[in-house]
Amino acid sequence: MRSDRNIYLKMKTLTDARELIFKHFQLHGILDSETIAVPDAVGRVLAKPVTACLSSPNFHAAAMDGIAVKAEDTFGVSESNPKELIIGKSAFYLNTGHVLPENTNAVIMIEQVHTLDAKRVEIEAPAFPWQHVRKMGEDIVATELLFPRNHAVTPYCVGAMLSGGVFSVSVRKKPRVLIIPTGSELVEWQNIEINHLKPGQVIETNSFVLGKLVEACGGTYVRHDKLMDDFEKIKQAVLAAIEDKYQLVLIIGGSSAGSEDFARHVIQALGEVLVHGVTMMPGKPVVVGDIKNRPVFGIPGYPVSAIMAFEQFVQPLILKLLEQPEKIRPTIPVEPTRKMASKLGLEEFLRVKLGTVGDRVVATPLPRGAGCITSLTEADGIIRIPENMEGVKDSETVAAELIRPLSSVRKTIVVVGSHDNTLDVLADQIKAGSSELTLSSSHVGSMGGLMAIKRKSCHVAGSHLLDTDDGSYNVSYVRRFIPDIPVRIVNLVFREQGLIVATGNPKNIRGIEDLGREDLQFINRQGGSGTRILLDYRLRQIDLAPAQINGYENEEFTHMSVAVAVLSGTVDAGLGIFAAAQALGLAFIPVVTEQYDLIIPVEHFESQSMRILLDTINSSAFKNRVETLGGYSTQKTGEIIV
């Protein structure tokens, strides 16, 4: 087994890498063609031009219900000079779509015909030639070009071709892509039981995601059986794919700089490495090579890196094989809700949530880790930060590529502030009752929510800020930090906040006072969060200094993240809500019942979207679901406090 480490031999900018690859591979005319039935051709690319065999319509047809006449016979007719016509001689009844009788060239609508008896009618207005008539070839003329080669067939095209007498077409065969998942840590989803995944094991998902992306851009894929980190086995699989005439090969995993990352070595052994490492994030470790004039890729193992590498390199090559233009996402100007730092020297693809607040589209960044697939599933857009910039400011307008349609972005309720599990329930209930409306929540802490309202970058802020002087929640903070912004404060829930500890409480933790023990490791919430304010308040009450707590400086942004840290065993305790502990089967030590409210600027309070949100909060369906989470009270849910 090879164990020498990779180095990024040919690190290139994204622009240079793309230019090199597209120039290197001459893909014009490589794909063979096949003939298929027209109804089966939707989504396929024409290999030959399509010309009409029939005219459509192939006869002069009535466009209205009425009588067919010779227009010249009606000239001079008026209300004061009506004309009588004989059915079967100078007038002929017919319905829409019927063939015009010989020696007629116009149709008079039935509403304008006065029936005198079974054989006679009267008209009071003239007709003009070809009035209400679909002339032969009005839509399609036999022999005319319907679609040129390289045209992508749509459902509309099917109607045109069949109407034109074309029943089969020549299309380009779909590019064949072999996807080889590699990695000794991978397990197949079909062979794993939930809750039995061992430490170090990873469910293999990338091949299925990339395979469906291949299909979405017009190709077809075969998934190779998972391979262990074995140079010879990977090499033989790639060689077999090349001999089997696959147009592209994707080796998933093994493109980075680890001692068991073999993608570059395999490509180098069988052909030429064109690129190893691109100055993009995520996606930096991608490898691109040429083996017998076939593109072979080393795709990074992290899901977001894999997808970004696919979209920037593999997808354009598949489209080039099909002689189709590259797919360009539309862009819109957006304003970040907070400063977004970035690394110099790397072009970053920052995933963001979007929402329209007033006349602006605001962007809130999602987690940036290359392993966070949810940063794409939850994203509305992508902000590309150039490699020569250290980030973007919260006040500057930048361009965002749209992943979701702009119409959906405009129907999004933007919630910023403290995290609570009931926001997920609320989002689902809103979607169930109003499928066009979406609730998007970003977790930056209660104070972060108030600042978002101050910057007018959200519709709603979630908050549970305790006033340690009088025991009230949120009102004093609103008056202190956003005094000039009229708001309504609506109670969402009361909830139990306490210490989340391991199942069975093996460390015998009794309360906040135990956090100073040397044998305990703690996980904190971020500064500005209501949970952090509560903790600091309780620490002052018992005269326990933060410096005495192991892990006080380590922060998470959500209650579920705190619970996961406890579940993983990396920490012994964290302050969070009961629902988070219960969701993961952890033990819980109550500390306080607190009030969690939604703060809504008056300018948004009467909007249609907000009415739907408030109606949902007050519904029994929402309250019942919240109660089943545990640790919540809905006694005052929906009540307007201020």
Write out 499-562 in H/E/C secondary structure: EEECCCCCCCCCCHHHHHCCCCCEEEECCCCHHHHHHHHHHHHCCCCHHHCCCCCCEECCHHHH
> What distance lies between CA 10 and its chain's CA centroid?
32
Q: Is the pLDDT of residue 347 over 50?
A: yes
What percentage of the chain reaches a pLDDT higher than 70? 97
Q: Is the pLDDT of residue 4 over 70?
A: no
Are 481 and 509 in the same domain?
yes
413 is a domain residue? no
What integer is the mean pLDDT of 254-263?
A: 64
291 is a domain residue? yes
Report pLDDT for 8: 52
Are 451 and 591 in the same domain?
yes
pLDDT in tens, 193-211: 777 778 888 899 999 999 9
Structural contact between residues 445 and 528, judged by C-beta atoms closer than 8 angstroms: yes
What integer is the mean pLDDT of 590-612?
A: 96
106 beta partners: 69
Which of 9-18, 408-417, 433-442 has the highest average model confidence (pLDDT)? 408-417
2 is a domain residue? no
Are 228 and 81 in the same domain?
no
pLDDT band at 99, cuts 50/70/90?
very high
468 is a domain residue? yes
476 is a domain residue? yes
Are 562 and 479 in the same domain?
yes
Q: Distance between CA atoms of 325 and 298, rounded to whole angstroms?
A: 24
Between CA 195 and CA 201, with CA 198 as vertex, the angle to 5 degrees is: 115
Between the two ends of the chain, the Cα-to-Cα distance in Å is: 69
415 is a domain residue? no
More confident residue, 368 or 238: 238
pLDDT in tens, 484-535: 999 999 999 999 999 999 999 999 999 999 999 999 999 999 998 999 999 9
Q: Distance between CA atoms of 88 and 32, rounded to whole angstroms?
A: 58
What integer is the mean pLDDT of 247-275?
A: 84
Q: Is the pLDDT of residue 3 over 50?
A: no
The CATH number linked to 167 is: 3.90.105.10
Report pLDDT for 370: 81
345 is a domain residue? yes
Residue environment code for 417-456, b if the CB has 16+ CB neighbours within 10 A, otherwise e: bbbbbbbebbbebbeeebeebbbbbbbbbbbbbbbbbebb
What integer is the mean pLDDT of 52-79?
A: 95
Structural contact between residues 340 and 383, judged by C-beta atoms closer than 8 angstroms: yes
Q: End of a domain among 303, 321, 339?
A: 321
627 is a domain residue? yes
pTM of the full predicted structure? 0.86
What integer is the mean pLDDT of 233-258?
A: 88
Own/partner contacts of 477-484, CB < 8 Å, gap of 24 or more, are 477/446, 477/447, 477/450, 478/450, 478/599, 478/642, 481/447, 481/450, 481/451, 481/454, 482/450, 482/453, 482/454
The CATH number linked to 340 is: 2.40.340.10
Report pLDDT for 259: 46
Sequence-distant (≥ 6) Cβ neighbours of residue 155 within 8 angstroms: 42
490 beta partners: 598, 640
Angle, in degrees to the nearest 10, between helices 620-629 and 422-433: 150
Report pLDDT for 338: 81
Sequence-distant (≥ 6) Cβ neighbours of residue 79 within 8 angstroms: 124, 125
Are 482 and 597 in the same domain?
yes
What integer is the mean pLDDT of 422-431?
A: 96
Are 475 and 616 in the same domain?
yes
The DSSP symbol for 74 reads G
- Category of 503 on φ-ψ map: left (φ > 0), alpha (ψ -120 to 50) or beta: beta
Are 198 and 155 in the same domain?
no
Copy the structure tokens of residue 120: 């006679």
Are 368 and 246 in the same domain?
no
| Side chain identity, residue 335 | E
Torsion of CA 261, 267, 272, 273, to 10 degrees: -30
Sequence-distant (≥ 6) Cβ neighbours of residue 620 within 8 angstroms: none
Report pLDDT for 86: 96
Q: Distance between CA atoms of 640 and 642, rounded to whole angstroms?
A: 6
pLDDT band at 1, cuts 50/70/90?
very low
Torsion of CA 273, 279, 283, 288, to 10 degrees: -10
Report pLDDT for 260: 54
The mean pLDDT of the chain is 93
The CATH number linked to 589 is: 3.40.190.290
Handedness of CA 558, 559, 564, 565 (dihedral sign): positive
Q: Is the pLDDT of residue 632 over 70?
A: yes
Copy the structure tokens of residue 77: 């007719």
Q: Give the other-Cβ count within 10 Å of 504's Cβ.
A: 9
| Side chain identity, residue 405 | P
Are 216 and 259 in the same domain?
yes
Q: Is the pLDDT of residue 254 over 80?
A: no
Are 181 and 166 in the same domain?
no
Tally the residues of the chain: 642
Sequence-distant (≥ 6) Cβ neighbours of residue 316 within 8 angstroms: 18, 22, 326
What integer is the mean pLDDT of 326-350?
A: 92
What integer is the mean pLDDT of 465-482?
A: 94
Distances (CA, A) of 420 to 330, 369, 443: 33, 22, 9
Q: Is the pLDDT of residue 5 over 80?
A: no
- The total of structural domains in the chain comes to 5
Report pLDDT for 584: 95
3-class DSSP assignment, residue 462: strand
Report pLDDT for 10: 57
334 beta partners: 398
Structural contact between residues 513 and 544, judged by C-beta atoms closer than 8 angstroms: yes
pLDDT band at 7, cuts 50/70/90?
low
Report pLDDT for 255: 59
The CATH number linked to 210 is: 3.40.980.10
Q: Distance between CA atoms of 246 and 249, rounded to whole angstroms?
A: 7
Are 347 and 267 in the same domain?
no
Are 98 and 82 in the same domain?
yes
The DSSP symbol for 311 reads I
- Category of 237 on φ-ψ map: left (φ > 0), alpha (ψ -120 to 50) or beta: alpha
Q: Is the pLDDT of residue 69 over 80?
A: yes
> 144 is in which domain, residue-wise?
33-56+139-172
Report pLDDT for 2: 45
Q: End of a domain among 404, 436, 466?
A: 404
Q: End of a domain among 321, 341, 370?
A: 321
